[in-house]
Amino acid sequence: MQQYQPIRYRHLKDAIDTARDQLDAVMRELAIRHGFGTPAFKKAASALADMQIGHEPNFKDLLARKRGMDKIHAAWEGGGSVIFDMNTIAGRDALIPEAGGLVKSMIPAPDFYVHFGEEAGLRLQRRPEEFFDGMYVRAAKKDGLDQLRIVLVCNATGWQIKGRHSYGDAMTRAGRIAWGWAPFERPIPDSLRQYGMGGDLALLRDPRIMTAIDHIGGTIGRLCAAEQEIVFKSSATRH
């Protein structure tokens, strides 16, 4: 189960809290040593901040993405913590309705996570150590329409939560997400391309995002096909 992002994220949140507490403790020590607000304190605090989060150009946006990811994860837990592993049904043909889209009754659960894994081949072109690892899917109303909210999440080869990471590194890992909305009754990739996606610019500007968008459509189709055939009741697809 540790390979699934929702499980890892629980530990990542703890790691972020620990790193933030450690950073706050060092800041307090600097304030005691130099006097809060003094030039010496500001210089030392700035150097510490650069070391911890200096690689992140817009930390406010990262904080917002992290808060958003916390809410997405909490909604997933509140919805039953459902995980579908595509590697268990990777060979199944996708369900493609004649209308080109999906209807709400086809969706296997109102709030769930889909695991792609490294096997899906969705490695970022500009950050080859990272790859699209899966997505959170939620059926919800938006603009008066029944839609799917898609949230892509990433993993990185060799990245271990239990290793020593700075606050900024752990936050960057948590905020490496991209999201979009797709109305029912319409092909998901078409909607995501037309309406666009939000999230981490490192993902949105990577050419692999277009491959991932196409992958989403086929993945949801296979899930719906499996649900229609009641595969989930007799296999290890649902966790």
CB 137 within 8 A of CB 114: yes
Give the pLDDT score at 75.
Answer: 95
Closest CA to 125 of 214, 215, 206, 210: 206
6 Cβ neighbours under 8 A, 6+ residues apart: 73, 76, 77, 81, 83, 113, 136
What pLDDT is attached to residue 117? 92
pLDDT at 97: 42
Per-residue pLDDT tens listing for the chain (239 residues)? 457 999 999 989 988 998 888 888 988 999 999 988 898 888 888 888 777 776 666 888 999 999 999 999 999 999 999 998 988 875 544 444 433 455 455 677 789 999 999 999 999 999 999 999 999 999 998 988 889 999 999 999 877 766 667 888 889 999 999 999 999 888 899 999 999 999 999 999 999 999 999 999 888 888 877 665 544 343 444 55
Q: Report the pLDDT value the prediction gives residue 228, as an integer from 0 to 100.
A: 57
pLDDT at 192: 94
pTM: 0.84
Structural domain spans, the chain: 5-233
